[in-house]
Structure 1
């Protein structure tokens, strides 16, 4: 059990300070006189069960349970984990007790919820020395407010009214507002809830106005979220649904643009979902996340000008091949340094993967997952990487059975280009990387965790999963000749939050221009190349294409 550690303020002074807050709070409001709407939705509160919350036992973000006991130490951080500490102060686990009380009618659940909330308010006076930095951080404030609003459906005490008013003042503060960000959306949901509860039009109007402007900033016309991670597209989509339900409950008018942006997000999420149901692990997107209730898109291949290409052979088909390509604005928010990077899923297997999302903890490994070396990108030999560099889509040809794309950036102080060609049916993928004369590029290829890899010589690497085989073949261009020197090293990816597993990583030989061909289903496919004309015999037929250093793949 965690021991309670009190601050330096004595009991008498603390009580006086608390009473002063009630008497001289930022806004004098009364819950007893309020007839406003109370929104108390079970889905927005903690996965901690009511039974565990009654015992003072909580488990956050997949970490082992912690016994908080009856008297909570609000400075507790047993795992030195940012997400755990944030969840403690959101009080969503307290909100779960209120929801369970409404379902089971057991008064002790409500009484315990009141004890927890009142203890938090007493022990975490804003500005008090020694309190947790998470107590009044902007995101916990936004996530805690709905739980307090939920409690206010059954508790009319002045201490709760004063705390809600203080939360509203912070949520309305322009200096603390995170517009165009998922935190800003949570702030608006919270402010709207408090405004509706008290019938305070100034708060509800501000929340609606900011929410619409923030959605226009955060989500482009195609539905791409500027936070650069499909996982946050899913989160914002879910939270916007909560916001729209709350707007209806509040009796306010629904902003049309808010609805449009919400619908456009769904297309982005659908295209970012692999045939096996998992989100592509791009940016801070966990590799084990499976969106629910998202309708399939219309096109099998779509270019999002915000920085993504997503392609598949078919919707609603687990045997479909699938790829992603990154370009667009430089890294920001939840993005990684993955520009020009590709992922590939075919024959029900992850073939080319990203490092994925590990955590928000500031560790060397977490920092590495953000780096170019954690992604399937061309690394320029002997040049320094320039963080935050944008990448351009130079051209595209998207047919029903074949697509090709050409991209470029100056992330190493010179122009590096990457061309990608995908052939549906045979599931062949070809990638051509090039840098200016006199320089060399060395692509990295992180393979799926089910695969093993063996350098077989003559520019070939054999991939295996049991008896199944695939091949990765490399040719130096424009000479059109096989190039050896591939090495297979043990790398790491994150298959889920705080998880790390070993995967094979192919380090390519250095060359001025290098063509990489991935052939699923064949260990030693026949390949020929002359004058830039490439022919590959796959298990499903012959594939021919042209590879030009200055023109790309077609």
Structure 2
């Protein structure tokens, strides 16, 4: 379910890295879903599920993939990715249902040289001081309101372990992890990851077109639109 991402000549989304071969809590974390860019369910025991590729559409300027699995007992999880080119943009739709109340946490791990700041219930920005680029991460309400604490930053935490990166097995660096959080019996987390120039911005507006939800965006001056069908498929509309 996880993804890593490079754009603008640098790492945008990373995973926790390789913590070495010793049997300790750091290796357990680095091998787990919690060190990946994925939607996690921390209240359920991790089952290392088999992931199924449901569908895919690959075009010149946009690629869509949808996966599903069963991350815990009584839990179903589906993730759709849409990766755009010109503008650079990742759209992720995480959906899950559970027979018992859960915490649903979509995690976005950023390089250790980045500082992440939450600006609102929808938006956070990660950047390295003096760099020519930054990453704008935001979530758009889709079939579910954004609760208080919908965006949290986890960094250099040890209980539970979160917010670290191993560039090699001998080095562990503090690194920001952005968490888009929900709780209950289901979730619908629509995330956007936009690497832009240091002065770049992103604006968006959502609208319904029949049974399709369309998000019209301007990413660093480039207009584009993303659609979500009633069945949860993501596509580039413009």
Q: TM-score, normalised by structure 1?
A: 0.37
Bigger proportion of residues as helix: 1
Larger Rg: 1
In 2, Cα distance between equivalents of 1:461 and 1:536: 17
Structure 1 counterpart of 2:79, from 418, 434, 443: 418
The structural deviation recorded for 1:551 is 2.1
Q: Are 2:43 and 1:378 aligned?
A: no
Q: Are 2:110 and 1:447 aligned?
A: yes
Q: Structure 2: which 5+ residue stretches go unaligned?
A: 156-162
Verify the 8 A CA contact 1:434 1:441 in the aligned structure 2: no
In 2, Cα distance between equivalents of 1:439 and 1:477: 19
What are the residue-to-residue correspondences of 1:215-226 with 2, within 5 Å? none
411 and 543 in structure 1: CA distance in 2 versus 1, 3 angstrom threshold: same
3-state SS in 2 of match to 1:415: strand
Verify the 8 A CA contact 2:118 2:125 in the aligned structure 1: yes
Q: Are 2:191 and 1:516 aligned?
A: yes
In 2, Cα distance between equivalents of 1:384 and 1:476: 28
Q: TM-score, normalised by structure 2?
A: 0.82
The structural deviation recorded for 1:452 is 1.1
Verify the 8 A CA contact 1:441 1:513 in the aligned structure 2: no
Verify the 8 A CA contact 1:434 1:549 in the aligned structure 2: no
Q: Which residue of 2 aligns with 1:103?
A: none
- What CA deviation, in whole Å up to 9, does each residue of 1:102-154 have, x standing for no partner? xxxxxxxxxxxxxxxxxxxxxxxxxxxxxxxxxxxxxxxxxxxxxxxxxxxxx
Q: Are 2:190 and 1:525 aligned?
A: no
Q: Are 2:100 and 1:428 aligned?
A: no
Verify the 8 A CA contact 1:385 1:412 in the aligned structure 2: yes
Higher relative contact order (CA 8 A, sep 6+): 2
Q: For this pair of structures, how many residues does the alignment match?
A: 213
497 and 385 in structure 1: CA distance in 2 versus 1, 3 angstrom threshold: closer
Verify the 8 A CA contact 1:488 1:506 in the aligned structure 2: yes
RMSD value, Cα: 2.1
3-state SS in 2 of match to 1:449: coil
Q: Which residue of 2 aligns with 1:35?
A: none
In 1, Cα distance between equivalents of 2:154 and 2:226: 31
Displaced runs of 4+ in structure 1, greater than 3 A?
A: 437-440, 481-484
Structure 1 counterpart of 2:223, from 528, 542, 551: 542
The structural deviation recorded for 1:429 is 0.6
In 2, Cα distance between equivalents of 1:402 and 1:344: 14
3-state SS in 2 of match to 1:365: helix
428 and 521 in structure 1: CA distance in 2 versus 1, 3 angstrom threshold: same
The structural deviation recorded for 1:380 is 2.4
Verify the 8 A CA contact 1:403 1:422 in the aligned structure 2: yes
